[in-house]
Structure 1
Amino acid sequence: MVIVAAEATVVVVVVVAVAAAAAAAAAAAVLDQRVKAFCLLTNCTTVCTSIDIRNDIKNFRKLENCTVIEGHLQISLIEHVTKEDYKNYRFPQLLEITDYVLLYRVYGLTTLRDMFPNLAVIRGRLLFTNFALVAFEMIDLEELGLINLQNISRGGVRLAKNKKLCFINTVDWEKLGVSPGEQDFKQNREENACVNLCQDECTETTVGRVTAGRCWTSSHCQKNLSESELLFHCVSFFILFKLGV
Structure 2
Amino acid sequence: MTLPLTSPASTVVFADLDDTLFQTLRKLPGADPATLTPMTVDSRGQPHSHATPAQMALLDLLAAPHVTLVPVTGRDAAAMARVTLPLRSWRVLDHGLTILTPAGTPDPEWAAQVRAQLAPLQEPLRAGTGAIAPHAARLGARLTSHAAHGTPFMTVLKHPDADPAVLAELQDRLEAAHGPDHPLRVIANANNVSLLPRHLGKAAAVRYLLGTHLSGAALTLGLGDSVSDLPFMDECDFALTPRRGQLMRTLRALTLPQR
TM-score (norm 1): 0.24
Higher relative contact order (CA 8 A, sep 6+): 2
Larger-gyration structure (1/2): 1
